[in-house]
Chains A and B, each alone.
Chain A
């Protein structure tokens, strides 16, 4: 149940309009105009700019709030980060007027940008710095849509808070910093000076967040002084006390723990605009001791804990992602900022981590039903069935939360990458599906990689039809390829060529961030930045990983399989015909396209004939990226996820040999091509498990079901067992779309795209496509009825 004030706060969050606030841009510009900027080191400059922001940004305390701290001056008022990415007036206009994921920009904001922000930052943002350093091959590939670049408009980040803040206050961290400075060895350590500057910066950042909390305490006391309601007055005074205690000291209570995290969160997303905002990660683990202590001592009730968590949830929803434009907007076209609460999993010692709070968090997810924060369950083989069954009961309500992750896969992935088993068990998944050692790892996502585009380039001997330029290697005229293996070899070479371009670019960009954009505040939070005297962006974390994310495994697999099947094995068409057909978007090749769509083995049906290509492509991609060194002393790895990039990557590719028409979306994650899987979910899971998930840092698999599948209690259990079976095969992640009447309507219009849609009819389940139209209509009506 939601209390009245939670309902109000939730409504406020849902109804607030996403808009641009010029506050941060103005403050950062004021700071950078000050004289001091010229006299100090880069880390200290960044720390002082952070301090300046926290000293001067408006304090926003919403009516009835119990967890305080806003990123902007009001809910959904979204700051900008001109030092990273300067928006032009044209960008602001687009943000204001675009039909999807828009942000209102008022005249005042436009004026501030025109008069102050743009004149100061023009040509000086990190985006300019970065793009100016990119080399012609990189630019060509980027423009052609071979890959994207994550750090173009947003800072790296992609990390998650561990348990540290629940054990240490900022004053403890300041002591550690002092010790680290004392321990510096100016005799032997050539970097001692740089380390001292970085540590000074961290110290300034720690003091800044304490000051920011104190500003809240003062404001709360002001509000208390004029508050007529005695209960609220008392509450405001208590909250002021909390803000004076945390983050200076380690939290003592449930409320303090949540408030501490939230100050940290606001700090991280104010310092810069890191991807995936920030994330409390294993919330049920971190909070359980406080919850338990509160209940035992009688200082906390279950109801109060729930109310605090609900208030906490709403805070995330108040923060849409910082505005994205251009290709960045295409690859991640959403307001969601990817904070992903992890529930369940295992403890550091490997034992079952599910506790009472895990179930409470699931209740919160179900009841709040808001976009942010995202939630997931980490399902370990030792977690009880009732835990996953409870999660499935939320999944079946059909809003895509929580997604489900395999704890054993995550732990194996992290250990394979060289993490200690304890650090791995303290980890989880963040962002979309990325594995990370929470609190100890700096893991960048560097950009999506268009696996299917590489085949298009191979089929055109390295020439890009879209940008009309020879951008790739000349791997030979494909019509002269004598065997399928020759084609695969050409793909291998072409892919290596472009991954090397991507990795070279990544290494330049990593250096730019470590030299010009350190994050002393975030560095306080991730071990062992303090001990190493190094910034998070410069390799200070215990573990450093950079990912390249492969997109469209289904599309590339089916395209290769179609060529193998029709050109080389069955010889139903020649390579020349295939290339001609896709070049002209199958115009006049209807018969061939029919064969490609209907009469060709496809990935997702547990058929090795097709799935072997998925294995092979995975190995090629893995070999070309995995294990290479990054500029900050980390290692490049792969993962397989798309966010919304499969749409953009599809736009830049003509028709493909799997029968896909020009510019249509590619398949997403490791899911089969939309509608290609016709043998049901078990066959999809078998196919998806054929690639080696353990050698990735995450894979994404999407499945859809209709709500009526779950009518009987028994189907919940069977569904849970389906998930467990996938995880037994080392699958990393699965998420479910429990579909609506809209999908059913679309399925009726375009049956070839929904061949995999299973629906419950009456006491049994069947494929939607296999039903006659009357029955389909009946089910649509029934679904409509259910939706009311």
Chain B
């Protein structure tokens, strides 16, 4: 069995507890305007130009983004860093793209990690049919669960898909008492409106759950170059990056709701 991976990041320190390794799955059903990893959207290999400067010269070469890897390949990479997981209480984080898009591949990796006692974190939007999704239960140590907008029309506009399945899968996880940290990207004018914040609070108040922690992820124009390289239109052109201080009000608001709130992961 093979999966397509577009990056493996060692010493990942913002994707869950301890020192982690993050495996980025290529392919995502959503197409968020603010995506930080646009190279993770398409589920096939993409060829881009890379620049290799040397002295006064510049070498421009083609490079393929996305690599088909076997479970064994990925596990070898994961296990290379075991000493860091053991020492720091870290592990592996599956992110993307959307890892659920390569569900069977993900499931085998999760099982392998469980067998080898490696802590797993799944960074997901939960966009996946419920029957499939239920197969994850009991196999993931921690979910970093992304919620963008509660209003479905807005969700469709800014991500290309409905949020219904994501929201209901979140309920499924909470019913199963899974460990969840909610991740909320703060996108100026899109997710940070008072309507959306109130909707989110109302949604979280509408059912019993064990979510204790919320991460507010400030918008950042980090990916500007990636958009250029991939020749994708950047819908966020001209929007400025947010700073920590821009989010302190929001942080207090969620803290009042009883959550542990962190800015950034």
Binding site for B on A (CB under 8 A): 590, 593-594, 597-598, 606, 679-683, 686, 712, 714-715, 717-718, 721-722, 724-725, 728-729, 751-752, 758, 761-766, 771-772, 774-775, 778
Contact = CB atoms under 8 A, between A and B. Distances in A.
B54 A763 contact: no
Interface string B48-75: 0000111101010000000000000000
A597 B84 contact: no
A762 B220 CA distance: 7
Contact of B224 (A682, A714, A758, A772): A772
Nearest to A590: B57
A683 B81 CA distance: 8
B196 to A, nearest CB: 19
A679 B10 contact: yes
A487 to B, nearest CB: 26
Given A752-B53, A761-B220, 17 more contacts: A590-B57, A594-B52, A680-B10, A682-B11, A683-B10, A712-B264, A715-B13, A718-B13, A721-B90, A722-B84, A728-B86, A752-B54, A762-B222, A762-B241, A762-B244, A766-B222, A775-B221
A721 B53 CA distance: 35
Interface string B88-127: 1110000000000000000000000000000000000000
A763 B84 contact: no
Contacts of A761: 220, 222
A752 B241 CA distance: 27
B29 interface: no
B54 A593 contact: yes
B19 interface: yes
A150 B19 CA distance: 42
B265 A764 contact: yes
Given A715-B13, A775-B222, A725 B19 contact: yes
Contacts of B206: none
B35 interface: no
Given A764-B265, A772-B225, A682 B10 contact: yes
Contacts of B52: 594, 597-598
A728 B59 CA distance: 41
Nearest to A689: B83
A771 B220 CA distance: 11
A597 B59 CA distance: 12
23 contacts: A590-B55, A594-B54, A680-B9, A682-B10, A686-B80, A686-B81, A715-B13, A718-B13, A721-B18, A721-B19, A721-B88, A721-B90, A725-B83, A725-B86, A725-B87, A762-B222, A762-B242, A763-B217, A763-B220, A763-B264, A763-B265, A771-B222, A772-B224
A518 B170 CA distance: 78
A762 B243 contact: yes
Contacts of A729: 83
B218 interface: yes
A774 B224 contact: yes
B247 to A, nearest CB: 9
Dominant SS among interface residues on chain A = helix
B14 interface: yes
Interface in B187-241: 217-218, 220-222, 224-225, 241
Nearest to B82: A725
B263 interface: yes
Given A606-B80, A683-B10, A721-B84, A763 B224 contact: no
Chain B residues touching A, range: 35 or more
A660 B179 CA distance: 50
Contacts of B243: 762
A710 to B, nearest CB: 11
A728 B224 contact: no
A271 B41 CA distance: 71
Contacts of A722: 11, 19, 84, 88
Contacts of A724: 87
A116 to B, nearest CB: 53
Given A590-B57, A724-B87, A763 B14 contact: yes
A598 B55 CA distance: 13
A765 B9 CA distance: 11
Contact of B218 (A590, A680, A762, A766): A762
Nearest to B217: A763
Given A764-B265, A771-B222, A775-B224, A751 B84 contact: no
A453 B89 CA distance: 43
A681 B83 CA distance: 13
Contacts of B264: 712, 762-764
Query: Which residue, A717, A718, A763, has most C-beta atoms of chain B within 10 A?
Result: A763
A593 B18 CA distance: 39
A778 B55 CA distance: 25
Nearest to A720: B88
Of A593, A598, A679, A762, the most chain B CB neighbours within 10 A belong to A762
A527 to B, nearest CB: 37
Given A764-B265, A765-B13, A725 B53 contact: no
A75 B81 CA distance: 50
Nearest to B216: A763
Nearest to A591: B59
A724 B222 CA distance: 32
A782 to B, nearest CB: 9
A595 to B, nearest CB: 10
B243 to A, nearest CB: 7
A722 B242 CA distance: 29
Listed residue (A590, A718, A758, A775) with the most chain B CB atoms within 10 angstroms of its CB: A718
A718 B19 contact: yes
B209 to A, nearest CB: 24
Contacts of A758: 11
A682 B218 CA distance: 27
Nearest to B215: A763
Contacts of B88: 717-718, 721-722, 725
Contacts of A718: 13, 18-19, 88
Interface in B20-63: 52-55, 57, 59
Contacts of A774: 221, 224
Nearest to B21: A682
A725 B224 contact: no
Contacts of B220: 761-763
B224 A680 contact: no
A681 B53 CA distance: 24
7 tightest Cβ-Cβ pairs between the two chains A and B: A763-B264, A721-B88, A772-B225, A680-B11, A725-B87, A682-B11, A680-B10
